[in-house]
Copies of this chain bind each other. A is one copy, B any other.
């Protein structure tokens, strides 16, 4: 092989961070770089049908792997995907947006080049990216290795996206292979602050009943899941999560109280969390859709809040206390339990099998009952996300959605990326018809990559989540009537590769889910038909809160 290049340096670094796949759509400013991906022993190219799909897939991948990479062409490609980057920024997902740019000389000439805005200014998109990334660099042959390291280190440190512009000539410029591991800035706790935090926590907890723990997504983002699990087991504590961070706790465990959604919670869950004599929140960021529009009522005086880099005890803040360290400290403060807690939360029992039309309630009962330990479950931000909310997930199931950025259609490509990141898990996608129409082309990519997903499309004739908020009968909440079961074949399923079933009753749905379970080597698409105005109870509560919040002037 010829000498090592900037492209190779970058790819080595990405492999070092744990990436094994690069997502994207090729363009003439990226084709040379893709030859280097092709040649790299540790990396594989995953071409998607469009750029937004690539961005979402890289996001789903990063949520499991800790890093995702999307390679796009200048202008058209990057802007088509920038909504995905913004979502990763909002939801704390570490992602590299790598943009193949025109040659340095082309940019310097300033002429109206395709994929540019024709005004000689090649900096528009990098400036736009500063709003949704934590570090950016326009690479040159001279600065490339240092700037690559700076941007990648920032992505890791902040757990949010970064942006690199790689002109085609710079990709081919000579560069060494990395000589040493990427220098990451550790975030150590301040020992003094940690000691003061520990003392304050001890004072609050001593003599009180065992605390309840409310954990959420930032525990995972901060890499503190092991410490959380150790604390819960050590103390035999009861716990809950919000809908965003279901993955950080075990919903099959004895201590699980159910999911907390502020005023939209089930009454027993609300009472257990809000009425707890002592409450530890770990990695919680309350957003409107997971808190019943900020309807949480958690008494500060009884509360310890652990955030990624600081902790708060009954209102007193301790900066530079890392989340993992704080959890470990609490495990030393809280007495060891003799036994796990008595189970208090019973998962809803599956609905009886009936032959009446399928309802949302029966749909989610059946889907919840069909999930298995270890499943990778991704639910779009509509009836799917809320429908599954009250159902307790099996042990080691990994669930995610996108409740803050809440970009409908996100989950179909995100499942693609997540499935490639965790091929040992069964990928399960729960999505509405309106949402699936946004990104349907990546169903073809799932088939092309032979990913044996279970895809449940809720066909309820439009944007039911919007109908619940406003415009119940309005035409603007209608969508084109697709024939969902024809899509796997149309989008390229090989003979025998896919199963597609339309379920209009609970019996049909249960049979379809059993068929999927019996053919785990195939992709199964289940079209679950429900009434346009039928919504899961949790969504009713949240939509009511949304309407109230929007109406406030």
A469 to B28, CA, bound (A): 7
User: Interface stretch among A83-91, A202-210, A245-253?
Assistant: A83-91
Is A479 interfacial (CB-CB < 8 Å)? yes
On whether the beta carbons of B26 and A471 are closer than 8 Å, the reply is yes
On whether the beta carbons of A131 and B128 are closer than 8 Å, the reply is yes
Q: Which residues of B contact A27 (CB under 8 A)?
A: 466
A115 to B289, CA, bound (A): 10
On whether the beta carbons of A76 and B406 are closer than 8 Å, the reply is yes
Q: Which residues of B contact A189 (CB under 8 A)?
A: none
Q: A103-B553, A409-B50 known; A490 and B480 CB under 8 Å?
A: no
User: Interface stretch among A355-363, A424-432, A435-443?
Assistant: A435-443
Q: Which residue from chain B places its CB closest to the CB of A128 in the assembled complex?
A: B128
Interface centre among A76, A440, A471 (most CB of B within 10 A): A76
Which of B403, B440, B550 interacts with A168 by CB under 8 Å? B550
On whether the beta carbons of A113 and B288 are closer than 8 Å, the reply is yes
Q: A114-B287, A405-B76, A483-B489 known; A50 and B439 CB under 8 Å?
A: yes
A74 to chain B, nearest CB (A): 11
User: Interface stretch among A388-396, A444-452, A528-536?
Assistant: A444-452
Which of B82, B409, B479 interacts with A47 by CB under 8 Å? B479
Q: Which residue from chain B places its CB closest to the CB of A44 in the assembled complex?
A: B475
Within 8 A of B (CB), among A24-43: 25-29, 31-32, 34-35, 37-38
Q: Which residues of B contact A404 (CB under 8 A)?
A: 112, 114, 116, 118
Which of B79, B80, B114 interacts with A406 by CB under 8 Å? B114
Closest 9 pairs between A and B when the two form their complex, measured CB to CB: A79-B83, A76-B407, A486-B490, A31-B470, A444-B480, A112-B287, A50-B438, A448-B480, A49-B437
Q: A466-B28, A471-B31, A486-B486 known; A80 and B52 CB under 8 Å?
A: yes
Chosen A-B contacts, 26 in total, with CB atoms closer than 8 Å, are: A26-B463, A31-B470, A31-B476, A38-B475, A50-B437, A50-B438, A50-B439, A76-B405, A82-B128, A103-B552, A105-B552, A111-B288, A113-B287, A114-B288, A114-B404, A114-B406, A115-B405, A168-B550, A437-B444, A438-B441, A441-B441, A481-B492, A482-B491, A483-B490, A486-B490, A490-B490
On whether the beta carbons of A474 and B288 are closer than 8 Å, the reply is no
Q: A114-B287, A474-B38, A553-B103 known; A480 and B466 CB under 8 Å?
A: no
Is A64 interfacial (CB-CB < 8 Å)? no
Q: A82-B79, A117-B90 known; A49 and B285 CB under 8 Å?
A: no
A434 to chain B, nearest CB (A): 9
Q: A28-B469, A104-B553, A480-B445 known; A474 and B86 CB under 8 Å?
A: no
Q: Which residues of B contact A439 (CB under 8 A)?
A: 50
Q: Which residue from chain B places its CB closest to the CB of A124 in the assembled complex?
A: B131
Q: How does the 8 Å CB contact mask read for A86-123 relative to B, with 1 for contact and 0 for none?
A: 11011100000000001111100001111111100000
A483 to chain B, nearest CB (A): 5
Which of B26, B82, B106 interacts with A552 by CB under 8 Å? B106
A51 to B86, CA, bound (A): 15
Q: Which residues of B contact A116 (CB under 8 A)?
A: 90, 404
On whether the beta carbons of B31 and A80 are closer than 8 Å, the reply is no
A438 to B26, CA, bound (A): 12
On whether the beta carbons of A83 and B86 are closer than 8 Å, the reply is no
A288 to chain B, nearest CB (A): 5
A38 to B83, CA, bound (A): 28
A51 to chain B, nearest CB (A): 8
Q: A47-B476, A480-B448 known; A471 and B90 CB under 8 Å?
A: no
Within 8 A of B (CB), among A453-490: 463, 466, 469-471, 474-483, 486-487, 489-490
On whether the beta carbons of B479 and A49 are closer than 8 Å, the reply is yes
Q: A113-B287, A288-B112, A440-B440 known; A28 and B550 CB under 8 Å?
A: yes
A215 to B551, CA, bound (A): 53
A21 to B238, CA, bound (A): 55
Q: A86-B117, A112-B286, A409-B50 known; A26 and B490 CB under 8 Å?
A: no
On whether the beta carbons of A470 and B52 are closer than 8 Å, the reply is no
Q: Which residue from chain B places its CB closest to the CB of A78 in the assembled complex?
A: B83
Is A125 interfacial (CB-CB < 8 Å)? yes
Which of B89, B480, B553 interacts with A117 by CB under 8 Å? B89
On whether the beta carbons of B118 and A285 are closer than 8 Å, the reply is yes
Q: A168-B550, A486-B490 known; A125 and B131 CB under 8 Å?
A: yes
Q: Which residue from chain B places its CB closest to the CB of A469 in the assembled complex?
A: B28
Is A12 interfacial (CB-CB < 8 Å)? no
On whether the beta carbons of A87 and B76 are closer than 8 Å, the reply is yes
Is A137 interfacial (CB-CB < 8 Å)? no
A404 to chain B, nearest CB (A): 5
A469 to B115, CA, bound (A): 16
Is A156 interfacial (CB-CB < 8 Å)? no
On whether the beta carbons of B83 and A466 are closer than 8 Å, the reply is no
Q: Which residues of B contact A111 (CB under 8 A)?
A: 286-288, 294
A168 to chain B, nearest CB (A): 6
Is A169 interfacial (CB-CB < 8 Å)? yes
